[in-house]
Chain A
Amino acid sequence: DGGITQSPKYLFRKEGQNVTLSCEQNLNHDAMYWYRQDPGQGLRLIYYSQIVNDFQKGDIAEGYSVSREKKESFPLTVTSAQKNPTAFYLCASSRPGRTTGNTIYFGEGSWLTVV
């Protein structure tokens, strides 16, 4: 089945540690995104990538890093510089189009908790 796979679903991090969240898509989409969602809140854009080997900062990129070495993969690293990393992280992908619109498809999310 085509889709977006995020792993792990649940992750616990000790303070001072870096952790990496995986995101893989087999939809052949060019664009990929990472969003952060805090409980009861909307989504905030962390990073996005419109093409392999290129990515742009979103609204809350500080303390996060990404790479886009392959079209299918867009891992997110939450670094120790991120002061409040406990949140729900959502990966998404799309095939942007001016006429068809930029509908994006989401993974099931990863819960990160700092202990």
Chain B
Amino acid sequence: SQQGEEDPQALSIQEGENATMNCSYKTSINNLQWYRQNSGRGLVHLILIRSNEREKHSGRLRVTLDTSKKSSSLLITASRAADTASYFCATDEENTDKLIFGTGTRLQVFP
């Protein structure tokens, strides 16, 4: 079963604009992570936010987590063409080590 659902499914923006992607999940979690996937490649870990954290930054990335709404958002500021990829959220359910991925947001950044 899919734990996370990303929104929107696809997003197209111009370089320099900000990109915001959202993730909703269903059960209680230990952590929520965001991953990036270039076409036809493996996924790469971007950032992890723990269930007791509300916001986290890493370079141009800003992640928020609202456990009461079971949702998270990923903001990429000042986007670049090289940010073009699919972005996935992933959650590990409480009391398990199983990581469940969402359906992903395909981001296209035009130069």
Query: What residues on B are CB-neighbors of A98 within 8 Å?
Result: 30
Selected contact of B99 from candidates A42, A94, A107, A109, CB within 8 Å: A94
Main secondary structure of the interface of A (DSSP, over half): strand
Question: B88 near A109 (CB under 8 angstroms)?
Answer: no
How big is the A interface, by class? 20 to 34
A54 vs B102: C-alpha distance in the bound complex, in angstroms? 26
Please state if A109 and B41 are interface contacts (CB–CB under 8 Å): yes
Residues of B within 8 A of A4 (CB): 42
Instruction: State whether the Cβ of A84 lies closer than 8 Å to any Cβ in chain B.
Output: no
> Given A42-B88, A43-B88, A101-B48, are A90 and B42 also a contact pair (CB < 8 Å)?
yes
> What number of A-B contacts does a CB cutoff of 8 Å give?
63
Q: Considering the chains assembled together, what is the distance between the CA atoms of A90 and B31 in angstroms? A: 22
Of the candidates B31, B41, B43, B92, the one having the most CB atoms from chain A within 10 angstroms of its own CB is B43
Contacts of A58 in B (CB 8 A): 98
The 8 closest A-B pairs by CB, nearest first: A106-B42, A42-B103, A96-B97, A43-B101, A101-B31, A101-B48, A106-B43, A102-B92
A sample of 10 inter-chain contacts (CB < 8 A) reads A43-B101, A45-B98, A88-B40, A96-B97, A101-B31, A101-B48, A102-B30, A103-B48, A106-B44, A109-B42
